[in-house]
Structure 1
Amino acid sequence: MVRYEKGHKDETRRHILDVASAQFHESGIAAVGLAGIMSEAGLTNGAFYTHFESKEDLVREVLLDALSRREERHKDNLENGVELVTTIREYLSPHHRDSAGTGCPTAALVAEVARHPKTTRDAFTGKISDIIALMAAQIRQGSSGERRRKAIAIYATMVGALQLSRAVNDRQLSEEILEDAVEAAVNLARGR
């Protein structure tokens, strides 16, 4: 029997999550198989079940992990006084558009998540609600209800524009989509 150092199982699980996340972001959940994930991770298919019950369990964990990281960025921004406008500009940048593998899981996977089981959608919904609340906290004008409505509109604009900018094959149109969405989202954030 092979003995592993303490923490090996956690490191292996983290590695599988990272590989799966990049593959899901780049190719979509449905197009990625467990064999491809485990091969890229340098592990056997059988090792998968030591860490996850099923592909759906992996999908849910990837979403929770990636959205938790994004949530932490929003918390850090709020605690450090970073304006929502900065977040909008970074999110709707050509760099983010061109980095689907490491970018926002919402923009990369939202259409597929809508077709997943309730448990996965519940996890996704909880994290999205948390992110929206953090964005609303960065908006300084209006009642809490008005700030929440603006945050939802801003987030929806950001996600939709990023998806659209990635989907079109006309680079100039893609740039216009990003620039115009930045303007619209910034105007909402500033109460215009």
Structure 2
Amino acid sequence: MARTPASSKEATRDRIVDAAARAIRRSGYNGTGVADIMKAAGLTHGGFYAHFDSREAMLAEAADRAGRDAVVLMERVAASVPPQQALQAMARAYLSETHVKSIETGCATAALGSEMPRQAPDVRRAATRRIKEMIDLVARHSPDWGQAGAHEHALVAVSTMVGALVLARAVDDARLSDALREAALNHLTLAD
């Protein structure tokens, strides 16, 4: 039997993780089945164990990928503006109407935070690492970077953004959704 080249196997695994990262944000951890992920990746269910030891191992990688995507997006946003505008630009992008509607590709913390306490340790560890990266990114772009209290301000900013996004997505009232986002943005702008 011919062996699959490592690069092909890695590309297939990457497709599975990408499909899983989208699926967990769309349907939650418990609403995401291996068969559905494999189908979304264009593969058969039977090939799953050639790439992962368990569903939890795949979910940990998916949580890591989803969290990485959010951090990378915010890094790009920060790099696209002058340094003194980076925090506001990140907040505006994070709290945009587009992000509210982009659950499948948006911030994993906002999509999955309430489910995290019930996940396997590896899944929680991956999510925690990415949350810490987001906090550090915000801290590095805060006006008070390097001063006492900068880290605490970043914790509040990230908590405000994530909480506002969760609520903006939760309500079925477009005006309230917009008001939640705007209030958080106004607060973050005044806090600068």
- In the TM superposition, what is the alpha-carbon distance from 1:75 to its structure 2 partner? 4.2
Cα pair distance change 1:181/1:141, threshold 3 Å: same
In structure 1, the residue matched to 2:183 is 180
In structure 2, the residue matched to 1:149 is 152
Q: Are the aligned partners of 2:168 and 2:178 in contact in 1 as well (CA < 8 Å)?
A: yes
RMSD over aligned CA atoms reads 1.9
Q: Does 1:11 pair with 2:23? A: no
After superposing the two structures, state which structure 1 stretch, 22-31 or 89-98, moved more. 22-31
- In the TM superposition, what is the alpha-carbon distance from 1:184 to its structure 2 partner? 1.2
Which amino acid in 2 is paired with 1:112?
E
Q: What TM-score, normalized to structure 1?
A: 0.89
Q: Are the aligned partners of 1:67 and 1:127 in contact in 2 as well (CA < 8 Å)?
A: yes
In structure 2, the residue matched to 1:114 is 117
Cα pair distance change 1:157/1:52, threshold 3 Å: same
In structure 1, the residue matched to 2:40 is 40
| Residue correspondences, number | 189
- In the TM superposition, what is the alpha-carbon distance from 1:6 to its structure 2 partner? 5.2
Q: Which runs of 4+ in 1 moved over 6 A?
A: none
Q: Distance in 2 between matches of 1:141 and 1:40?
A: 44
In structure 2, the residue matched to 1:68 is 68
Listed as ranges, the gaps of 5+ residues in structure 2 are: none
Q: Distance in 2 between matches of 1:31 and 1:186?
A: 37
**Aligned residue among 81, 84, 89 for 1:86:** 89
- In the TM superposition, what is the alpha-carbon distance from 1:147 to its structure 2 partner? 0.9
Helix, strand or coil: the match of 1:122?
helix
Q: Deviations over 1:34-71 (max 9, x none)?
A: 11111222212221111111111111101112222333
Q: Distance in 2 between matches of 1:129 and 1:142?
A: 16
After superposing the two structures, state which structure 1 stretch, 167-176 or 46-55, moved more. 46-55
Which amino acid in 1 is paired with 2:164?
A
Q: What TM-score, normalized to structure 2?
A: 0.89
Listed as ranges, the gaps of 5+ residues in structure 1 are: none
Q: Deviations over 1:11-55 (max 9, x none)?
A: 111111111111111111111111111122221222111111111
Which amino acid in 2 is paired with 1:42?
G
Percent identity, please.
Answer: 35
Cα pair distance change 1:187/1:97, threshold 3 Å: same
After superposing the two structures, state which structure 1 stretch, 109-118 or 63-72, moved more. 63-72
